[in-house]
Amino acid sequence: MTILKNKLNVVLDIGKTNVKLIFLKNKKIVKEYKTKQQNSYFKNSIKTLEANKIVNWLIKKLKKESDKHILNNFVCTTHGCSLAFIDFDDKEIIACTDYEFPFDKYKEEFLKIEPKFSRSFTPLLEGGLNTGMQIFYFSKKFPKILNKTKFILSYPQYVAWKLSNVFASEITYIGCHSYLWDFDKNKYSQLVKKLNVEKKFPPMKNAWDVIGKFKNTKMNINILNGIHDSNASYLYFLNSNLKNFTLISTGTWYITLNQKTHIKKLRPSYDMLCGINAFGKSVPTMRFMGGREYDYLLKKLNVSTKKYGISDEKIKENLIYPSYASGGPFLKSKQNLKNFKKLNASENYSLICIYIAFVINFVLEKMVCKNDLIFDGPVTNNADIMELVASLRKNQKTFKNNKEIGTGLGASILFNIKKKNNISLTRINNRNKFDLNSIYKIWLKEIKKQKLLKT
């Protein structure tokens, strides 16, 4: 008796902390594996991600599932600002860089050759959050590394190369606050020429292009080029019948994308920038590390229960001020959180949710977002934060994506880019129990008084 095997597509979703491997049939998840990223150090100096371990883990899982199913297509989506350097023998020198390493050591020298914001739409960010800054660091600290480098690969394209032996570049990653792309001329920036790395980027291909087959001949898997993670989330909605919306894509980073925001509204000091979507169109964007801050505050304030409950007076007296992670529009906080020990877990949890909602609202104000709001990612499991934002934005409709993992499902759109995606959204109700906007104004006034905004 012949047993018919399912035909599955595969997405590897690499977040800054968590890694998910999902197997899909008709865009429905039939199997999921999880692991975490690990760090090591290059020359006992540069903090890196052990990307090769992720690939080895991936291959083992592919082999396991290929015994049960026919694996058809594979695509990888990852967080930004992580590069691999491959030598002329097609061996990794570094795979991959960790953007939390201080690649900005030579910032003052870099500023002398930094492309103008009006051309790169890239703000000067901390550590390694600019890949152009990373390459500049290597040119100063380890010039021999660049000399030995045949190709510089973005993280998704590194994974695709490891599986297929084919080198490629991709625009959503290259155009992601990198200084590497000139938005005016729609080509690599002058920085690429100044660093003499023009030939070190493989040919540009679409995110959905099949660049090759899995080199393991027993598994006839098509390997797609791959995509930057927030652009994968954005693609999920962009490739649908939705016409006018702001996406708040969440995870370690909370990334707000709105094509209706005018580029003249972008202010680099606030971590505002332009990205490029999978179809090559610019996307005004603003970010802060909401997931990282949320987790930090839960731990710091010893929150044991996620139950919302706090009086109006206690909110006003105990507002949390930014910020507790890299990136975003605010300086790191000097606030003494020990004061919050006098509150119970529910009150502290409520204040954390209000804080995250206030920062989201600040972002939406700066981006002049007047269209429908759509939450995607882990925050869709937190009704409190979403309802608080809806209360602050009563003139707009607020929705959440009903799918559990927008990034992975967004990347799966690449398997059939010509087919429109059906979106499933739930309307989020606002809370009318108190005037949250008046409290937000108090919060914002104090932020300006404490000079917590980046300049």
Q: How far apart are alpha carbons 331 and 36 in whole angstroms?
A: 29
- Per-residue pLDDT for 377 more than 90? no
Q: Give mean pLDDT, residues 193-208.
A: 97
Beta bridge partners of 247: 257, 374
DSSP 208-229: T-EEEE-SSTTS--EEE--EEH
Each residue's pLDDT tens digit, 249-262: 898 889 999 989 99
- Per-residue pLDDT for 1 more than 50? no
Each residue's pLDDT tens digit, 59-76: 999 999 999 999 999 999
- Per-residue pLDDT for 13 more than 90? yes
Quickly list H helices, 306-435: 312-317, 345-366, 383-392, 406-412
- The distance of Cα 443 from the centroid of its chain, to the nearest Å, equals 27
- Per-residue pLDDT for 169 more than 60? yes
**Residue 338: per-residue pLDDT:** 85
- Per-residue pLDDT for 111 more than 60? yes
- Per-residue pLDDT for 2 more than 50? no
Q: Would you tell me how many other CB atoms lie within 10 Å of the CB of residue 248? A: 27
- Per-residue pLDDT for 203 more than 90? yes
Mean pLDDT taken over the chain: 93
**Residue 398: per-residue pLDDT:** 98
Return the CATH fold of 7-225: Nucleotidyltransferase; domain 5 (3.30.420)
Q: Give mean pLDDT, residues 408-437.
A: 89
- Matching residue, tokens 């600040």: 362
Q: Compute the 3-state secondary structure of the chain and give helix, strand, coil in percent, each to the nearest 5.
A: 35, 25, 40
Question: Is omega for the bond preceding 96 within 30 degrees of 0, making it cis?
Answer: yes
Q: Give mean pLDDT, residues 8-34.
A: 93
406 against 20, higher pLDDT:
20
Q: How far apart are alpha carbons 385 and 312 in whole angstroms?
A: 16
- Topology alike, domains 7-225 and 241-449: yes
Q: How far apart are alpha carbons 386 and 374 in whole angstroms?
A: 10
- Per-residue pLDDT for 37 more than 80? yes
- Per-residue pLDDT for 333 more than 70? yes
DSSP 140-186: HH-HHHHHHEEEEEEHHHHHHHHHHS---B-HHHHTSS-S-EETTTT
What is the domain partition of the chain in residue ranges? Answer: 7-225, 241-449
Q: Please, are residues 236 and 421 in contact by the beta-carbon 8 Å criterion?
A: yes
Q: Would you tell me how many other CB atoms lie within 10 Å of the CB of residue 383? A: 15
What is the CATH code of the structural domain delimited by 241-449? Answer: 3.30.420.40
Q: How far apart are alpha carbons 371 and 395 in whole angstroms?
A: 9
Percent of the chain predicted with pLDDT > 70: 98
Each residue's pLDDT tens digit, 384-398: 999 999 999 999 999
- Matching residue, tokens 């040919």: 203
Each residue's pLDDT tens digit, 80-104: 999 999 999 999 999 999 999 999 9
Each residue's pLDDT tens digit, 272-317: 999 999 999 999 999 999 999 999 999 999 998 899 999 888 999 9
Percent of the chain predicted with pLDDT > 90: 81
Q: Is residue 189 left, alpha or beta, with left meaning phi > 0 and alpha meaning psi from -120 to 50?
A: beta
